[in-house]
Amino acid sequence: MKEGLFELGAKGAIELDESDPLKKFRLEFLFPNPKNGKSVLYFVGNSLGLQPKKARAYVEEVLSDWETLAVQGHTSAKYPWYPYHEFLTESTARLVGAKPIEVVVMNTLTVNLHLMLTSFYRPTKKKFKIVIESGAFPSDQYAVASHAKLHGFDPKTAILEWRPRTDERILNLEDLEELIQSEGDSIALILLGNVNYLTGQAFPLKEIATLAHTKEIVFGVDLAHGAGNLELHLHDDGVDFAVWCSYKYLNAGPGALGGCFIHEKHAEDFSRPRLEGWWGHDKKDRFLMEPVFRPMAGAEGWQLSNPPILPMATLRASMEIFDAAGMHSLRKKSVLLTQYFEILLKAAEFKKVKIITPPKAEDRGCSLSLDFGSSAKTIMTKLSEEGVFCDYREPGILRFAPVPLYNKFQDVFELCEILKKHVE
């Protein structure tokens, strides 16, 4: 049986994998131990990416330098600790479509979001509202509510939700445009998840940035599910700021460091208030220990403390793989993998399973969210017994992320065969 480009049988999956130009990168990662004698099928890279094989060696390299050099490791290690974050700058800029001055690896996602809101949410009595998508990840909701309160506003009136239409789950860009047109004079900031964590819907950043800026609204983005998933162009799209984590698609390990983008147009705007820390001070004279803070230009000026080297070592291992593979090629494979997954699901004709992620490639990343209703937890248990790693979210949603760096077409085929055994 054939559907479009895809032969839907096992042979078709094997042929797709054999012709995959990125297949070698799967060998760069470590998979969990077999479960009940079965090799695992790992589809939760949208929650925690797999460990790059080089991560251990890079961490041990730092530990060895600490052991043999101690404090001199700051300047004499193979990769000196003092400028270690700079070893990630170029690759990070390539990953998100930015200039090097616009990015920095630091802190964790929500810490960076609070730093950005401190600087970019500057409400007035008239222009104080924040737009956020309905169903945004809770941390984003908590962050914007806390900043509204810090400025003396009631979140119930200060926060506007871009909501789906009745009986729909996917957000409509026309509704956001209407909201901006009607409320724009009172909106100070729009903060959206680049890819919504629950539905998997991806938002058109350039169009939204243009809409926002026509009303002098700051546009910020949470890239937790976008960085390493989508091909991004933050500089050209005109996004004001963005933040992300690196433990999902970026494979840097649990609780890994996050990243931050600040558009070049803000690089030397030192009038914006910020929370100051000594690692953001001009590095040419940082160690003069002057009492007056003078920030570096660009994203580095928002740093607080000297970087934690061990977490940066694991991220360096992963970013080298991204540079070798290239986001353009990864995205191309990702579109095919997810399309193949969707076609297999539809061919199975599950009567009680609904795909809630948008059908168009440009409106989603690699992940598909499936609504199993009241049977979701039971299905999750059955899948786990079969060695399938996926992700449950209320109410009744299972998320599956075929990640192009390490998932095969055969993984997707086997997953759908297992689903056939247990669904309905």
Rounded mean pLDDT, 207-213: 98
User: In this model, does residue 1 exceed pLDDT 60?
Assistant: no
pLDDT at 28 over 70: yes
Q: Identify the pLDDT of residue 5.
A: 67
End-to-end CA distance of the chain: give it in Å, rounded. 23
On the question of a common fold for 2-30+326-422 and 89-323, the answer reads: no
Q: How far apart are CA 260 and CA 244, in angstroms?
A: 7
Given 3.40.228.10, 3.20.20.330, 3.90.1150.10, 3.30.450.30, which CATH number is that of 2-30+326-422? 3.90.1150.10
Closest C-alpha to 154, from 144, 162, 163:
144
Mean residue pLDDT of the chain comes to 96
Name all contacts of 15-23 with Cβ < 8 Å and 24+ positions apart.
Answer: 16/336, 16/340, 16/409, 17/408, 17/409, 17/410, 20/333, 20/408, 20/409, 21/329, 22/325, 22/329, 22/330, 22/333, 22/404, 22/405, 23/408
Banded pLDDT at 352 (limits 50, 70, 90)? confident
Query: pLDDT tens across 323-344, in order?
Result: 999 999 999 999 999 999 999 9
Pairing, β 391-393 against β 397-400: antiparallel
pLDDT tens string 301-310: 999 999 999 9
Q: What is the pTM of this model?
A: 0.96
pLDDT greater than 60 at residue 299: yes
- How far is 261 from 241, CA to CA, in rounded Å? 5
Q: Which pLDDT value is given to residue 413?
A: 97
On whether the CB atoms of residues 367 and 10 are closer than 8 A, the answer is no
89-323 fold: Aspartate Aminotransferase; domain 2 (3.40.640)
Domain residues of the chain, as ranges? 2-30+326-422, 89-323
Supply the pLDDT for residue 254: 97
